[in-house]
Chain A
Amino acid sequence: MNFALSDEQELLKEAARGALSRAGTVAGARDALDGGALPDLWPVAVAAGWPGLLVSEARGGAELAPLEAMLVFEELGRVLASPGLLGHLPASWLADRGGAQDDVVEALAAGDARAAFAGAAPPGDVEERWTADPSLGLRRADPPSLTADGAVSGVAHWVPDAPGADHLVVVLDDGRAALVAGADVTVEPVVRYDATRALGHVQFDGAPAALLDADAAVAWHLAQALLAAESLGAVEVALATSVAYAKERHTFGRAIGSYQAVKHELVEILRRADNARSLMYYAGWAAQDKPEEFALAAAAFRVAASKALDHATRTQISVHGGIGATWEHDAPLYFRRAQLARRLLGGEAGAADRVAGELLSAARVAA
């Protein structure tokens, strides 16, 4: 038994941190709030080999496991970097496993083409449909569907990394996935609240599609785990900056970190981060060795990391006092990251419901 990262995995993280350290992503995130252009991180991702991370070696990828992808996302999250992989990795995984044409997959693996994932939540023990994120409200929307002539019609909202994508992998209302050319759809780029996150509303209007023969549910759970890993990275930074400040800022003659009221909140960040890390390892292990638990593991990881980031970024602001609530500080950038991330891809609440549903289903079978 060994439930720790391997040396190779530690090296992968270290390399990712190094590659991102020169990209100026946090400063870029601040500039972007005022309408500045974000640094283009795709070349960084390509140089590091991340676009082909999950693609099979035979088609030019690195054929690494979901856990390795999560570790890269943890590093991305630390510095608020969004190179377009949240859409690209689940989409390229489905395209590769689902039998898309070699030239398409090889271009995705090499980073010569970008893909986005218009995913849908798989049915659960209560909800029988495949459902997509609605444009507004709590009621889940219908995913696009395949028309009689084999084209895709419908709309997908809040699709990560859709603007500029060369390909879209869309999950249909019957749970099948289809590959659609970016040129055949209309993408309305949207940026909401977190300027580092490129989203799009995608209109499919009889778009020609190639069906993919792979499990779209796994891609959904993979996206949950990647978003969670990104959140965990941001939690670590929120904790480190808050702890550093709590040691140096003094009130009433002593460091504020010595007060239990402050100390206990910082420990709470650590507690939540530590729990999320354990669940990341669980999700990574399940993806490889226990696929029947990947849905549960990825959803639990998402819940833990998402709630951890919410708590951590709020605490970061309060520990820093007034300055933490201003644009003078990085804290608002992490807070914005948290609040949008919690509401994408089915949301934190959707993940909690998935955890319950998976456990209740198993309990019904056992009973």
Chain B
Amino acid sequence: MDLNDTPQLAAYRDRVRAWLDEHAGHAPTSRREDAESVAARRAWQRELAEGGLAAPTWPAEYGGSGLGALEQVVVNQEIGRAGVPGLFDLIGVGMLGPTLMAHGTEAQRQRHLGPMLTADEVWCQLFSEPAAGSDLAGIQARARRQDDGSWRLSGQKMWTTNAQHAAFGLLLARTDPGLAKHKGLTMFVVPMDAEGVTVRPLRQVSGAAHFNEVFFDDVALEEEATVGPVDGGWTVALTTLMFERVAIGLGGEGFGWRADRFAHALLDDEACTRDAETRHRLGEIATEFLALRYTSYRTLTALQQGQIPGAEGALAKVTTIRAAIAAGDLLCDVLGPDGLSDDRWGELVSDLPGLKSAGGTEEILRNMVGERVLGLPPEPRLDKGIPFAELRARERVAVGETA
């Protein structure tokens, strides 16, 4: 057990810290969605990129530093310590960029990765739909190939973070409904300013609109817009989701949800810190957050040893959300009605019911872990090997609906 930096990593940490000390004064303070705040956050990402802190793990040829997961964690830790925001487009740099590196053409990488890294072009992830989230392969957005090899896209995507700021989206569409549902999918790069693309904000419990629904009405896409093989989009999507899990597994305390911070908040009412029930609740909640911190060191050790993070990482997400819900509840019990709209904790309370479903619902994650880690059998499925076009009819029969 050793949590100390190697001399090499300590030197890297010193460099990162020195850079942040010098530049922290330029960091934006607001996380609001107005034009001025967004411009400031994008400018800050550019500054981070120029300082080599935006994508330590990206290869140097695409503007990264070619370093490992440990250096990424050092950067995350030092950004947290400096109290400055991280990347504006974490979804692009953390998930979509690496997907393009794994499956895109060299032309796509050369065209897109640079502006993505500097936030000159923000990206969004267009996977989920109103009727397909947990069962992602059930998407219905349809891309039809034209005689000249180009594509026409129609459909609706949902829960799309940053769509209102995005220049491009990575979109999963159905290209052959005659195939089984995981088979007939293709990944596309979609310019968000194309004719026929409409973005509409979705307001959340807190009142903020961090994500959107996006409509595609006969949008023209070039032949070169596909990422990975035609009808081979599921594998590409799985790559993105794997990077998402890595990001969640290493992210942990990035939201500021930490045991020490919750304890500190309770000092607002010193008397409650002597109340047995409050203390018991805090003790149990803090235990979960501490477990998350030290689980992330185990994950990191595995990454460092070249292992690919397993499905267990999903459990970290379940614990994070569970514990954060309990923490928000405790804080509001102590702070009273003011806590519900408190600057520090209001969003925590309001966002969590939705976050329980984001990045894989708790139920889906538990299924995945149960099946892949514990080896439990899956539930019987009605959709295996059935052409997608026939699925809806079968679903209606299964629930006893008449046509």
Binding site for B on A (CB under 8 A): 1-4, 67, 125-126, 243, 246-247, 254-255, 257-260, 263-264, 266-268, 270-271, 274-279, 281-282, 284-285, 288-289, 296-297, 299-300, 303-304, 307, 349, 351-357, 359-360, 362-364, 366-367
Q: Mark B278-302, 1 if CB is under 8 A from A, else 0.
A: 1110111011101111110110111
B263 at the interface (CB under 8 A from A): yes
Beta-carbon contact of B3 and A363 below 8 Å: no
Contacts of B279 in A (CB 8 A): 126, 352-353, 356-357, 360
Which B residue's beta carbon lies closest to that of A242? Answer: B374
Which A residue's beta carbon lies closest to that of B259? Answer: A359
Contacts of B283 in A (CB 8 A): 299, 303, 351-356
B336 at the interface (CB under 8 A from A): no
Min distance, Cβ B88 to any Cβ of chain A, angstroms: 29
In whole angstroms, what is the CA distance A14 to B279 when docked?
39
Q: A2-B304, A356-B280, A360-B263 are in contact. List 16 more A-B contacts (CB 8 A).
A: A1-B4, A1-B300, A1-B301, A263-B370, A264-B363, A264-B366, A266-B376, A275-B291, A275-B319, A285-B1, A300-B291, A351-B283, A356-B263, A356-B286, A363-B264, A366-B264
Contacts of A296 in B (CB 8 A): 290
Beta-carbon contact of B366 and A260 below 8 Å: yes
Number of A-B contacts (CB under 8 A): 185
Whether A274 touches B367, Cβ cut-off 8 Å, given contacts A351-B283, A356-B279, A356-B280, is no
B373 at the interface (CB under 8 A from A): yes
- Report whether over half of chain B's contact residues are helix, strand or loop; otherwise say mixed: helix
Contacts of B207 in A (CB 8 A): none
In whole angstroms, what is the CA distance A303 to B371 when docked?
28
Whether A257 touches B376, Cβ cut-off 8 Å, given contacts A303-B287, A360-B273, is yes
Contacts of A353 in B (CB 8 A): 276, 279-280, 283
Whether A247 touches B377, Cβ cut-off 8 Å, given contacts A300-B290, A303-B284, is yes
In whole angstroms, what is the CA distance A276 to B284 when docked?
12
10 residue pairs of the A-B complex, CB under 8 angstroms, read: A1-B6, A1-B300, A1-B301, A2-B301, A260-B363, A263-B370, A264-B370, A354-B283, A355-B284, A360-B267
In whole angstroms, what is the CA distance A247 to B377 when docked?
7
Beta-carbon contact of B263 and A279 below 8 Å: no
In whole angstroms, what is the CA distance A266 to B375 when docked?
11
Beta-carbon contact of B284 and A364 below 8 Å: no
Most buried by A among B3, B294, B295, B369: B294
Beta-carbon contact of A263 and B366 below 8 Å: yes
Interchain CB contact (< 8 A) of B297 among A3, A274, A357, A366: A3
B379 at the interface (CB under 8 A from A): yes
In whole angstroms, what is the CA distance A271 to B377 when docked?
18
In whole angstroms, what is the CA distance A257 to B1 when docked?
36
Beta-carbon contact of B1 and A263 below 8 Å: no
Beta-carbon contact of A271 and B319 below 8 Å: yes
In whole angstroms, what is the CA distance A111 to B267 when docked?
49
Which residues of chain B in 154-168 are interfacial with respect to chain A, using CB atoms and an 8 Å cutoff? none
Binding site for A on B (CB under 8 A): 1-6, 9, 70, 259-260, 263-264, 266-267, 273-274, 276, 278-280, 282-284, 286-288, 290-295, 297-298, 300-302, 304-305, 312, 315, 318-319, 363, 366-367, 369-371, 373-380
In whole angstroms, what is the CA distance A142 to B271 when docked?
26
Beta-carbon contact of A279 and B376 below 8 Å: no
Whether A3 touches B259, Cβ cut-off 8 Å, given contacts A247-B376, A355-B286, A355-B287, is no
Whether A289 touches B3, Cβ cut-off 8 Å, given contacts A257-B377, A360-B263, is yes
Beta-carbon contact of A2 and B2 below 8 Å: yes
Contacts of B305 in A (CB 8 A): 4
Which A residue's beta carbon lies closest to that of B273? Answer: A360
Interchain CB contact (< 8 A) of A3 among B1, B273, B278, B377: B1
Beta-carbon contact of A359 and B377 below 8 Å: no
Whether A255 touches B377, Cβ cut-off 8 Å, given contacts A1-B2, A3-B3, is yes
Beta-carbon contact of B370 and A267 below 8 Å: yes
Contacts of B298 in A (CB 8 A): 3-4, 277-278, 281
Contacts of A260 in B (CB 8 A): 363, 366-367, 379
Contacts of A246 in B (CB 8 A): 376
In whole angstroms, what is the CA distance A106 to B304 when docked?
42
Min distance, Cβ B302 to any Cβ of chain A, angstroms: 8
Beta-carbon contact of B369 and A270 below 8 Å: yes
Interchain CB contact (< 8 A) of A352 among B9, B284, B380: B284
Contacts of B287 in A (CB 8 A): 275, 279, 300, 303-304, 352, 355
Whether A356 touches B2, Cβ cut-off 8 Å, given contacts A267-B370, A278-B294, A363-B264, is no
Which B residue's beta carbon lies closest to that of A67? Answer: B1
Beta-carbon contact of A247 and B280 below 8 Å: no
Whether A275 touches B295, Cβ cut-off 8 Å, given contacts A263-B366, A360-B273, is yes
Contacts of B375 in A (CB 8 A): 243, 247
Whether A276 touches B291, Cβ cut-off 8 Å, given contacts A353-B276, A359-B263, is yes
Q: Would you list the 9 A-B pairs with minimal beta carbon distance, nearest first? A: A352-B283, A275-B291, A359-B263, A3-B297, A355-B283, A257-B376, A278-B294, A263-B370, A356-B279
Beta-carbon contact of B376 and A263 below 8 Å: yes
Beta-carbon contact of B263 and A126 below 8 Å: no
In whole angstroms, what is the CA distance A118 to B9 when docked?
45
Contacts of B5 in A (CB 8 A): 1
Which A residue's beta carbon lies closest to that of B3? Answer: A1
Interchain CB contact (< 8 A) of B369 among A125, A267, A275, A360: A267
Which A residue's beta carbon lies closest to that of B297? Answer: A3
Beta-carbon contact of B286 and A300 below 8 Å: yes
Whether A359 touches B260, Cβ cut-off 8 Å, given contacts A288-B1, A289-B1, is yes
Beta-carbon contact of B280 and A349 below 8 Å: yes
Interchain CB contact (< 8 A) of B260 among A267, A268, A349, A363: A363
Min distance, Cβ B217 to any Cβ of chain A, angstroms: 38
Interchain CB contact (< 8 A) of A267 among B276, B297, B374: B374
Which B residue's beta carbon lies closest to that of A349? Answer: B280
Beta-carbon contact of A243 and B374 below 8 Å: yes
Which B residue's beta carbon lies closest to that of A285? Answer: B1
In whole angstroms, what is the CA distance A260 to B380 when docked?
11
Most buried by B among A259, A303, A304: A303
